[in-house]
């Protein structure tokens, strides 16, 4: 689990929109890949899914007024979810600060 200070602050709705419009380009450029990414948003929780490589939600972002918390649900996967988590954290740090 990683915590990022929500300095701007970002609401869950605003972050959800940013993820849908900018995160795929960000991570695919950083990794030189073409990952398909899906998102699910309920209240202050956003699930990030990589359906081509991981079954079910891989990462969850919990949004509060003060911080963003990222939880990796697929750490035991054959795929390197730590790398995906690191890229998501980098993106969130750019958006929240």
Domain ranges of the chain: 2-96
Q: Which of 88, 58, 91 is nearest to 75 (CA)?
A: 58
Q: What are the backbone dihedrals phi and psi of residue 6, each rounded to the nearest 5 degrees, phi first?
A: -95, 75
- Residue recorded with tokens 């991570």: 27
Q: Which distant-in-sequence residues (6+ apart) come within 8 Å of 41 by Cβ?
A: 12, 13, 16, 47
Q: Where are the beta strands (DSSP E) in the chain?
A: 2-5, 38-42, 45-49, 59-63, 67-72
Instruction: Check residue 7 and give its pLDDT.
Output: 82
- Which region among 19-33, 38-52, 57-71, 74-88 has the lowest average model confidence (pLDDT)? 74-88
How would residue 87 be classed by pLDDT, with cut points 50, 70 and 90?
very high
Distance in angstroms between the alpha carbons of the first and the last residue of the chain:
19
Instruction: Check residue 32 and give its pLDDT.
Output: 92
% of residues, the chain, pLDDT over 90: 68
């Amino acid at each position: 689990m990683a915590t990022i200070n929500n300095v701007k602050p970002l609401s869950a709705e605003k972050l959800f929109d940013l993820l849908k419009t900018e995160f795929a380009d960000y991570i695919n450029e950083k990794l030189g890949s073409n990952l398909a990414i899906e998102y699910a948003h309920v209240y202050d929780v956003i699930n990030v899914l990589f359906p081509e490589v991981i079954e079910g939600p891989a990462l969850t972002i919990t949004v509060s007024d003060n911080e963003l918390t990222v939880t990796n649900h697929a750490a035991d996967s054959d795929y390197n979810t730590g790398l995906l988590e690191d890229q998501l954290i980098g993106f969130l740090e750019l958006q929240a600060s």
